[in-house]
Chains A and B, each alone.
Chain A
């Protein structure tokens, strides 16, 4: 199936779930975060879509005063088609349903995105930091992140600000 057909199939099942967004490329679709678990279940189990492989979960912070995003790259081993799902979260209170029990790799991918962006995946059975230490403060990959000054008495070096790249 092409991306357009996949999007149509989702829209057919969940009307109003697909959010129109001009920034999305052809292979991307933005979905409403409210029904994400149901849509994901449908995408995995529907015999025509059969997305059995979760390739990657990427967190994105488009910059200050904008909403955080989680991007899911899904692939079907059976039909060899793929789609990228984009879900936006409120910056102050980023929350979305976890899909960890659908695709088991979602467990670690979601922990990593939580670790880096502080996005809460509701329903995740073991949501804690994975790469950073448990007592690390802040969400390192957010654009407005400021590192802590010291960690257990060790001074954390700062990246020097340089004047542009031109």
Chain B
């Protein structure tokens, strides 16, 4: 039996469409309801991060990194300062490392909560979104209490952090974790085991492991395909080698390994690992000054560095070239959402248009980071 080929139709999704998670335009070639090719058009949010970085000093790059991945600004800061400190061979005080890990993991929980909630929203489950945003709000409140900002923190500086933790931060944070952990079960009951949700996501948009590696897919998306790779474990930076936590990988819970559900499920499990890390960090955090390693003038030695860290979306790499002046010669950000989006075309072929929304949502992209 031959394949019936209908007329090709081109459908534009976006740039102003709620399920494109920002300003992304998808040019979808369809045959009836079946997708035959997708051309993503990006760049609507291009703010010349790399060009700007060549015109400001090293410290002034940090606020730009905030605005790249605006849902996990702490982790964007973290990657940059880790790369800078490695380039300058600075050793930061213990307390700074602990504070950074706590903030990074809190932001990871916040970012994952938004990703999971919005994913439910994309495919029609409205209520879980409200539950998850309610809890994310408490994390943002903690950030506001610590550094005054709720989304764009500029919190981590080269050699330290901008503010020390408030005196009662530990109590507030433990209180939040005690409240938060039982909530995860509630999310699962609301969304994860929901029959409609499982039907929409299981077996849909399978990314095989070798395709994922070839496309540079990283983070929860890569682990959803069953590859146990986490920069925090495999190329430890800061003090991540001190904590005990698992690296959850997908196992085809309800369908095939590497489907949309696995990517969703890995995020849900990762939230619980982050809670574990924060608890350990809060227990061991030493005292001390958070500013003592701040360099007066940042002038890294000549050289270049590529360092990647684990942001909530995956391997966030910074390529920094220094020519010995206070202004970076070149800053390149290798963003995880950029690589994740590039595989959309291959993964979506043969699926329905409504499944494309499910696949796109499961990749958890942030356009600010893709376009930089």
Interface residues of A (CB under 8 A from B): 25, 28, 52-56, 58, 60, 71, 73, 77, 80, 84, 103-105, 107-108, 116, 129-133, 140-141, 159, 165
Minimum C-beta distance from B297 to chain A (A): 10
Q: B32 interface residue, CB < 8 Å from A? A: no
Partner of B43, one of A60, A105, A132: A132
- Cβ contacts under 8 Å, A73 to chain B: 306, 317, 319
Show 20 A/B contacts (Cβ-Cβ < 8 Å), sorted by A.
Answer: A53-B216, A55-B315, A55-B317, A56-B317, A56-B319, A73-B319, A77-B229, A103-B214, A104-B216, A104-B342, A105-B215, A105-B216, A105-B339, A107-B342, A108-B338, A131-B46, A132-B43, A141-B51, A141-B54, A165-B325
Q: B25 interface residue, CB < 8 Å from A? A: no
Known: A77-B229, A105-B214. 13 other contacts (CB 8 A): A55-B308, A55-B317, A56-B334, A60-B321, A60-B330, A80-B234, A104-B214, A104-B215, A104-B343, A105-B215, A105-B342, A107-B342, A159-B55
Given contacts A116-B50, A131-B372, A165-B57, contact A56 B342 (CB under 8 A): no
**Which among A25, A52, A129, A141 has the highest number of chain B CB atoms within 10 Å?**
A141
- Cβ contacts under 8 Å, A52 to chain B: 213-214
Q: B280 interface residue, CB < 8 Å from A? A: no
Helix, strand, loop or mixed for chain A's interface?
loop
Helix, strand, loop or mixed for chain B's interface?
mixed
- Cβ contacts under 8 Å, B227 to chain A: 77
How many chain B residues touch A (Cβ–Cβ < 8 Å)?
38
**Which among A53, A131, A141 has the highest number of chain B CB atoms within 10 Å?**
A131
Contact: B43 with A55, CB < 8 Å? no
Alpha-carbon separation in the docked complex, A131 to B334 (Å): 14
Alpha-carbon separation in the docked complex, A4 to B329 (Å): 27
Interface of chain B residues 201 through 218 with chain A (CB within 8 A): 211, 213-216
